[in-house]
Amino acid sequence: MKPHRSLTVKSPLGWLSVLLTTSVLAAPPATSAPGTGVWMTSAANSQTATIPSPTAPAQQLFDQVNELVEQNYGGLSQVDRFKLAQEYQARLNTVCMQVIQTCPVTKAYPVIAAEITALGDEHSYFQTPEDFEDFVTSATGGERKQFGVKLAELDGQNRVILEVVPESAAEKAGLRRGDVLQTLDDKPYKYDDLHAARLAGKTIQLGLDRGGQRLKLTITPLESSTRDLPRLSYTGPRQDIAVLRIPTFLSGGGVAQRVHDLVAQAQARHASGMIVDLRGDTGGSLSECDSAVSAFVPDFTRISRTSDGDVRTRVSRGLRLEDGQAVGSVRNPRLWTGPLAVLVDQASASCSEFFAYEVQYAGRGPIIGEDTAGVGNTATRIFALPDNAALQLTITNYAKPDGTPYPVRIIPDQRRAQSEDDIRRLTRGEDTFLNLAVQALATAPSMALDPDHRRN
């Protein structure tokens, strides 16, 4: 294998340490010659004329993916991986039957995607070159053509603006949270048309409803940064309750440091309470998440269980240690000791689930909202493959030091499903879940500056 460098980035369902090779990642050593029987069923073995050549690109990719699964998978699936590989080798034989010597990698893509799905681990999946390119751009805070809005569904279309990304085309055009998109270029609004316009870089005119007022705005997708760092606002009758919005634990780094800096700002303003909003946060870097949550939970420990053995991670006041060795920290760490509440929804995944669980486990404050996505007990790694494809694979599952496994998903202390009425209220400027969090702060616990008893 060629030398590689490691980059911690995001996926829709997990924190990822992406192996980006300095050149095309070579296929891992096989236990026998690739494409000549390692993964074949007995039926396929009796028809060797239909077996792709060992040098066929499709066969090489298939062999590489299965070696990665065999050597690195650390998830909870109980599927027999050798039998699974045999089954899908037979499928590859079929799709490559007419081009056994030169079968292209694109023939292997649907076969590999189906095989990884059949593994039964929803956190593991195959990425085509197009998927991987988009993923890396998002994960590293790179630039891509975008409008810069996050939408919620209403009346059958994703049309309600939940969030406007700072310094985006949407912000420059004047779009606001709660706006309802009604038309696109004077035709009834459809999300697919908005998506197509973004990909094409097309300037469009949006007709929208803002609190009963009809407006038209012109917007052009811009090449802009995907970095979306945490931000702070204030709410409550006296505007003294801090709302810390963490949209992602990605952004190419800097999330944890930003969280501690914003906590310092809230403390300087003498905020009476803190609401951490993790709604729609699909995860990112576990190290960023750990250091961020240490601004609210002073000390915690977890055990990472991998195919190579266990690793003990302790996080204390912004310092992250693995088996006693420092692996990350923040400057001027802060600790919020006042009342705390955390908002989650069904899109809160991976790192945001870890964040919410540490708060819940430590009894620091109520978790409010919907059951989370269900990716809260494992970590994944992205392995770069030839031709810029990639494999996301679960490599780790987690437990507390006493052996208690991390939950698959977070069950909020105050559980409430988001309804269409909640979305309609948002279009009128009322955030139902934020109001619930404000109310919960009245009875949420505070913490001594240096607690004598810390749960690990």
Q: What is the pLDDT along the chain (456 residues), one digit of tens a residue?
A: 332 223 333 333 232 333 322 222 333 434 433 344 444 443 344 344 467 888 899 999 999 999 999 999 988 889 999 999 999 999 999 999 999 899 999 999 999 999 999 999 878 989 999 888 877 766 665 567 889 999 999 999 999 999 998 889 999 999 999 999 999 999 999 999 999 999 899 999 999 999 999 999 999 999 876 678 999 999 999 999 999 999 999 856 799 999 999 999 999 999 999 999 999 998 888 899 999 999 999 999 999 988 788 999 999 999 999 999 999 899 999 999 999 999 999 999 989 999 999 999 999 999 999 999 988 888 888 899 998 899 999 998 899 999 999 998 999 999 999 999 999 999 999 999 999 999 999 999 999 765 544 444
- Does 3.90.226.10 match the CATH number of domain 231-378+397-440? yes
Give the DSSP letter of residue 34.
Answer: T
Give the list of residues 6+ apart from residue 74 with CB closer than 8 angstroms, or none. Answer: 305, 306, 307, 378, 394, 395, 396, 397
User: Could you tell me which of 238, 231, 316 has the C-alpha nearest to residue 270?
Assistant: 238
Residue range(s) of every CATH 3.90.226.10 domain in the chain: 231-378+397-440
Q: Crossing angle, helix 351-361 and helix 286-293, to 10 degrees? A: 30
Kindly report the CATH class assigned to 144-225. Answer: mainly beta
What single-letter amino acid sits at 83?
Answer: K
Residue range(s) of every CATH 2.30.42.10 domain in the chain: 144-225
* Cα 100 to Cα 65, 232, 425, distances in angstroms: 19, 58, 59
